[in-house]
Structure 1
């Protein structure tokens, strides 16, 4: 006998919808800003002969593409369930976060290589033009950060886009510092040094998102939930002899699913409904709103916690 329960707190549902609607609007303007910054940096790099500005422009262009991916993912995740996608497309945001963080890791490695090249062969840069373009880039990055910051703590996909913008802002500050150093002190080595420091920061931040998104995509158990704890609490209920064959996974950051076999003595159907309600009450404390419970009476030979 199997019971399904798919409950969602109504107010939480509205909150998540509001966040996604607001975030998608803000992401759109962040995309526009980044393409504008990219164009300005390419033109500035060509005119000044600054390879670092052109490299940073490519970095911003990559970020704009990654944010487009985030924007599309938010739209896809709001799609209703269907016979083809019974869970909907909610996992699109996790996939976008994975792609974006993986790109950031790649960019970090690229920055390290370019920094070493600049240490070996410093390039001449027109510092004044480099400074002006870097300031324009920083202004655009700061606006983008302001648009995304409030929602970055609530959504891993938005957080990955936010980190892209934060990394760009830090890069712009580094470029400004490098331009000042070049203008007044002719210290060209400061540019690759700052590039390495920026790369290390970006690598650290992106790795945590890459790790978390990979864990969700591989249907790993949410790190904050103990399967043993759930099993122990359910087995404290009257008439529950054993809980086994437990599966616990997250569809995205908000939707956590649990399925399990629950062994009972010979009881009436009405009593199983009461037990199911008590199980739902227990798992809600773990923020699990989607449960599938199979009641049985000494059916499974293997009664391990995992099958």
Structure 2
């Protein structure tokens, strides 16, 4: 996840560019077609499970669409107004997508709960065929992205989503077979709940991840308390304070700090110190962007980690 991830960054964009871009786009179209078919099928067959599967497919279509748009936006260069370009658009997209999905899943669970009490008859035949269409399309999409899943977080996410979709379509198929053979209609809301809980489980992780980036939390791979200790072992450094580390987008890590030097060095001599600090941070945490403020004899409590009140 660290430096090595970053060095591939430029090639990966070129690679994602031509081939994966087209594949992602094809996946989006497929997902939207399945969604439409399953919603119509769900209404005709009176199957809530089909509608939940459709919404799952829709969410994935949207996730892949957002990935595709974010990826296109991510390549736009920065401007004096948008100095980071649009690199965070995918994080914002993931956040919006996860909030919407959690709402949909919760709604479906409530609907399903009401279905358990009144067993409305469900047409298992329509349900079965729609489940099969969903399964085939998802398996096809999974195979389409199989080769590229390592190239980029969004492609990987799309791949995992589609894999999950194939499983939910399988659940719909099994439910349909049970309904056809034994007319056990409560299987339909049961499958709905299983799919919804599955969506919730995955989405909460996505929500936490995207929120922590948007809130500028310290990335999980960086330990600031440890970083402070390690930097302070360098001979030229007296203490390091006001440390901040954050991620611009997945895998693009930033670090800033005030460095209080042992000796009053001329600016030209701070270059070596800066180089040592950058090496250490890059090697230990995969941090690529370092901003430092050198000080001498600055009157800070050496124990201070971050500015503002509160911590440490």
TM range (shorter): 0.7 to 0.9
SS of 1:261 mapped into structure 2? strand
Q: Deviations over 1:148-178 (max 9, x none)?
A: 4555566444454445434432221111111
SS of 1:100 mapped into structure 2? helix
Partner of 2:310: none
Matched, 1:219 2:216: yes
Q: Which runs of 5+ in 1 are unaligned?
A: 1-6
Query: Quick check: 1:222–1:249 contact (8 Å CA) kept in 2?
Result: yes
Matched, 1:116 2:113: yes
SS of 2:8 mapped into structure 1? helix
2:124, 2:189 → 1: CA distance?
15
Partner of 1:305: 305
Q: Deviations over 1:263-286 (max 9, x none)?
A: 112123332111111111111111
Query: Deviation of residue 109 (structure 1)?
Result: 0.8
SS of 1:241 mapped into structure 2? strand
Mean alpha-carbon deviation: is it higher for 218-227 or for 169-178? 169-178
SS of 1:263 mapped into structure 2? strand
TM-score, normalised via structure 1 length? 0.88
1:1-307 paired onto structure 2 within 5 Å: 11-18=7-14, 20-21=16-17, 22-45=19-42, 47-48=44-45, 50=47, 52-54=49-51, 56-148=53-145, 155-264=152-261, 265-285=263-283, 286-303=285-302, 304-307=304-307
Partner of 1:3: none
Q: Deviations over 1:35-58 (max 9, x none)?
A: 221232244345545454345434
Query: Quick check: 2:241–2:258 contact (8 Å CA) kept in 1?
Result: yes
SS of 1:140 mapped into structure 2? helix
What RMSD, in angstroms, separates the aligned Cα atoms of the two structures? 2.5
2:121, 2:249 → 1: CA distance?
48
Mean alpha-carbon deviation: is it higher for 174-183 or for 44-53? 44-53
1:220, 1:17 → 2: CA distance?
26
Q: Which runs of 5+ in 2 are unaligned?
A: 308-312
Mean alpha-carbon deviation: is it higher for 166-175 or for 182-191? 166-175
Is the alpha carbon distance of 1:61 and 1:13 closer, same or farther for their aligned partners in structure 2, counting shifts above 3 Å? closer
TM-score, normalised via structure 2 length? 0.87
Q: Deviations over 1:130-162 (max 9, x none)?
A: 211210111112222333455556644445444
Query: Quick check: 1:260–1:292 contact (8 Å CA) kept in 2?
Result: yes
1:63, 1:259 → 2: CA distance?
37
Is the alpha carbon distance of 1:168 and 1:114 closer, same or farther for their aligned partners in structure 2, counting shifts above 3 Å? farther
Mean alpha-carbon deviation: is it higher for 146-155 or for 97-106? 146-155
Query: Deviation of residue 290 (structure 1)?
Result: 0.3
Query: Quick check: 1:160–1:209 contact (8 Å CA) kept in 2?
Result: no
